A and B are shown apart, each in its own frame.
Chain A
Amino acid sequence: MKYLKAASSLLITIGLIYTLNRGWNFGSPVPPLGKFLNPFGGFWQNAETKKIPNEILNISGLKDAVTIYYDSLLIPHIFAQNDEDLYLAQGYITARNRLWQMEFQTHAAAGRISEIIGDAALDYDRTQRRRGMVYAAENALKAMEADPVAARMVNSYTRGINQYIQSLSYKDLPLEYKLLGYEPEPWTNLKCGLLLKNMALTLNSGDKDLEMTNALKLFDKQTIDLLWPDNENVGDPIVDNSGKWDFTPLRLDGWPMALPNELVDAKPLEKSPPDVGSNNWAVSGTKTHSGAPILCNDPHLSLSLPSIWYIIHLQAPGVNVMGASLPGAPAVISGFNDSIAWGVTNAQRDLVDWYKVEFKDKSKREYKSDDVWRPSRQVVEKFRIKNGKDFYDTITFTHHGPVMYDEGFKGDSEMKYFALRWIAHDPSEEIITFFKLNRARNHAGYMDALNHYASPAQNFVFASVSGDIAMRIQGRFPVRRKEEGKYILDGTLTRTEWQAFIPNEQNVMYKNPARGFVSSANQYPVDNTYPYYINATSYEAYRNRRINKLLSEMSEITPRDMMELQFDNYNLKAEESLPVFLNHLDTTQFTQAQKSAYKILASWDYENSVESEGASYYEAWWDALYPLTWDEIKNAKVALDYPTTYTTIKLIKEKPDLSFFDITETPEKETAREVIQLAFIKGVDAIEKWKADQQKEPRWADFKDTFIGHLLQGLPAFSYHVQHGGNHDIVNASSRRHGPSWRMVVSLEKTAVRAWGVYPGGQSGNPGSPYYNNMLNTWARGEYYPLQFDADPTRYKSVQATLTLKPTQP
């Protein structure tokens, strides 16, 4: 009997331990509670204080000792004796703060999120694989490993990350691993490739070929040019070099336009929202107070935590560079060294094409290309799914690229096959660009570095201590015939394919223009005399004009002025549209709420500031007006593209009787006037409802509600709402979920390069660290931190701790 008692007690205990040692899912996932709650190893161990200990660690693979000084923002200043140690240390140090994020982002790129969160992510994962993300990263990896410099960089960086991963026990794991009940796998060079391709996906996967093909079938050419012009001809292009493009451009013979003559009943891929964009500019010494050039950059990306960027200072013989790095890739991406500074904005250009493929039979083993049947390559992709059975998907590759849509995935019943041609699939060596930019001494060094850069195409701004400023739009751009790339192409004809690329030296660029500054804000790139055809999903129309107007007016510029410009909340779109909208309103039947809204709007100063209520009313009005105007597009049976904001406002002003203003669901015939009226009523209703729900006045910061969400679907416990002005189409481009993910101002003074920076988050990726969000409110207030950039670490004002990495003795 007593043995029975002891045995049952033992069984219950073991059963309990088993239950608490694994994760469960009761509708929502439960972490392994025993492990997770154990104060000696679970989540409690991830709680940190501001204090960072001094440490000496033994690291294998180092040649010499590396010293790292952490300053009060937890920015590491890495001092190494050679390049390999430098990148090994960068990998190690970045992983110490950002390991979970690095792995999660590369899992996302590779279509492996189902492994972590289950089958809810399967569709996303399949899209990633079918897009050829892994294929693209593998091609990038081959190119990296073929180049001795790139190979050394990536190998060292990967080794550094793995040294860190190997040192971890459960207790030290980043919180998210404990929460989701999994562990990091070894890092690989391929993951560096995946990370860079993930950037290409964010910035350069936009296209509207499918939508435009449908539009071509539904509307006449005149309507297409009216609603979706290639160039809206607004403001200055990024580079205006009119009549001075003195080279012989490549010319292609023949007519590429062979279109599938049908409506395409497939669902287009989710696009990056139009509020992903960026600003950069550089002013020459003639316009600044100090006489030294000033360079500024603020890339607008998804506002997320852990932050997209990680500030780092890298020093070794031949290199002394600081700025924003991407966790998961070696070197500094947007930054400065002791001679130059550079920054990036997205070039927008269309580098994505779709080809309709004709297979010989259902097996899809052969497809037609001119007069022959070419063999395809088929890959079976395996998807591991958390708490589920493995899933297999066969992806067919043609020489164009992967067949994204087929009967197994988002294709329609008539089996239309579309293959994706994407520039990011091509082998490239961006990493060499950053290796060289980090070490560049002058304009020639910058030009040489950019010659290695292919994708995602960027507008690279440049300034040097020696006084030069420059802009170059760099990427690998196919030579396009007129209208090429706008529509889905016939994949059975080789004449429709990309035939040649614009030579690097013929890309859009200039140096030291007469106006004394260079700038880019994702607008149309170049004047009309540039001899190549250019198109994109859309170009920016407002930020660029505001920036250029202010920069042309300014003189005696100080870094503070530049910070204010990055934080500029002036709504040019409202200035150009609100008076027109207000004029159209019939105010006779207004309710009390509408009257008061009208009054607020009529006296609004067009500033989307934190306190502004006018901004809330205007944006609510616009958010109702835009979909009402384009109800034909929303309700169409096939996918169509929405015209841009600029074109919409232009049509309201110039063609108020256009048939598109008619709301198809109503029997009456509406014009722009009625649509504006109706949208006003809807907009005011939306604000009234918001006021009733929130029990407060609609201050813009509250109504917009900028949200910095944790990468795990914005887990509220690890995410923040901030008080922040601005919006898309405004220089301070902070919308609800996107905005300036890094703000940098660099003054290239001969005595010493001075720089300021901030981003909405913190250096640590650990929600249990004070450095997880310590820069958030500084960012929200439009303030900056001076970046400590000195070759002599004894001059740092705020060294918090020193970490020494020592080579392990064999």
Chain B
Amino acid sequence: MKFVIHVTATIIVCFILQSFLPWWSLAIGTFLVGFMLKNNALPAFLAGVLGAVLLWGGMAFYIDFTTHSILTEKINKLLPVNSFLLTVLVGGLVGGLASLTGALARSK
């Protein structure tokens, strides 16, 4: 249950921060949630990863869907890796590490 709360909180907090701040606000959001929720290291890391993946992946999917993949296809030709995969990979890694850092900073 706490894990689900962690993931949900990450999505909500990061969504709000990302609407105003640069991309690295994802790390601030996941860090804050990790710090507040006092999860253990591994669940905190995983919740951060999952929250960030869902947020970035969801947003990317929404844009891709509403614009009929007009740009995704072109960027896929440009990058060596599928742009959707790369997006969630980058988001997940940053989110997970920042959440872990938050949890570790709080742990006694």
Contact = CB atoms under 8 A, between A and B. Distances in A.
Interface of A: 2, 5-6, 9-10, 12-13, 16-17, 20-21, 33-35, 37-49, 170, 175, 179, 715-718, 767-770
Contact of A47 (B31, B72, B105): B72
B91 interface: yes
Contact of A38 (B18, B66, B77, B107): B18
Interface in B1-42: 18-19, 22-24, 26-27, 31
A768 B93 contact: no
Contacts of A13: 27, 31, 94, 97-98, 100-101
Interface string B67-89: 11011101101100001001100
Q: Count chain A CB atoms within 10 A of each CB in B31, B59, B108 and give the residue with the most.
A: B59
A37 B67 CA distance: 16
A16 B87 contact: no
A15 to B, nearest CB: 9
B67 A48 contact: yes
Given A38-B22, A38-B87, A39-B59, 16 more contacts: A2-B107, A6-B105, A6-B107, A21-B23, A21-B24, A34-B24, A37-B90, A43-B71, A43-B75, A44-B71, A47-B72, A49-B66, A49-B68, A175-B71, A717-B74, A717-B77
B86 to A, nearest CB: 6
A393 B105 CA distance: 54
12 contacts: A2-B107, A9-B100, A13-B97, A20-B90, A37-B90, A43-B71, A49-B70, A175-B71, A715-B78, A717-B78, A768-B67, A770-B70
A540 to B, nearest CB: 37
Contacts of A43: 71, 75, 83
Nearest to B86: A37
B98 A767 contact: no
Contact of B94 (A16, A39, A715): A16
A641 to B, nearest CB: 40
Contact of B23 (A6, A9, A16, A42): A42
A34 B78 CA distance: 16
Contact of B19 (A9, A12, A40, A170): A40
Nearest to A768: B71
B56 to A, nearest CB: 5
A175 B71 CA distance: 10
Given A16-B97, A34-B23, A34-B94, A46 B104 contact: no
Given A17-B94, A34-B23, A47 B101 contact: no
Given A16-B94, A17-B94, A20-B90, A41 B78 contact: no
Given A10-B105, A13-B94, A40 B67 contact: no
A86 B94 CA distance: 47
Nearest to B17: A40
B83 to A, nearest CB: 7
A10 B35 CA distance: 12
A38 B70 contact: no
A718 B64 CA distance: 17
Contacts of B27: 13, 17
B43 to A, nearest CB: 15
Main secondary structure of the interface of B (DSSP, over half): helix
Contacts of A12: 97
A489 B22 CA distance: 59
Contact of A39 (B60, B78, B101): B60
B77 A37 contact: no
Contacts of B67: 47-49, 768
A47 B75 CA distance: 11
A51 to B, nearest CB: 10
Contacts of B91: 37-38
Nearest to B75: A43
B90 to A, nearest CB: 5
A49 B71 CA distance: 10
B23 A41 contact: yes
Contacts of A34: 23-24, 90, 94
Given A43-B75, A48-B70, A5 B24 contact: no
A9 B107 CA distance: 13
Nearest to A44: B63
Nearest to A37: B87
B23 A38 contact: yes
A179 to B, nearest CB: 8
Contacts of A33: 86, 90
A718 B78 CA distance: 9
A48 B66 CA distance: 9
Contacts of A49: 66-68, 70
A39 B86 CA distance: 11
A770 B67 CA distance: 9
A38 B26 CA distance: 9
A768 B23 contact: no
A47 B64 contact: yes
Contact of B77 (A35, A40, A716): A716
Nearest to A716: B77
Contacts of B64: 44, 47
A337 to B, nearest CB: 36
Nearest to A767: B74
Given A47-B71, A48-B67, A170-B22, A38 B101 contact: no
B87 to A, nearest CB: 4
A36 to B, nearest CB: 9
Contacts of B105: 6, 10
B63 A47 contact: yes
B44 to A, nearest CB: 10
B104 A717 contact: no
A34 B91 CA distance: 8
Contacts of A44: 59-60, 63-64, 71, 87
B92 to A, nearest CB: 11
A47 B59 contact: no
B94 A9 contact: no
A16 B18 contact: no
Nearest to B87: A37
A16 B31 CA distance: 14
A37 B83 contact: yes
B59 A17 contact: no
B71 A767 contact: yes
A467 B74 CA distance: 49
Nearest to B95: A13
Contact of B71 (A17, A37, A46, A716): A46
B94 A20 contact: yes
A6 B45 CA distance: 13
Contact of A41 (B22, B31, B68, B77): B22
Q: Which 5 A-B pairs have the closest CB atoms?
A: A768-B71, A38-B23, A39-B59, A6-B104, A717-B77
B97 A768 contact: no
A13 B104 CA distance: 13
B18 to A, nearest CB: 4
Contact of A17 (B24, B66, B86): B24
Nearest to A769: B70
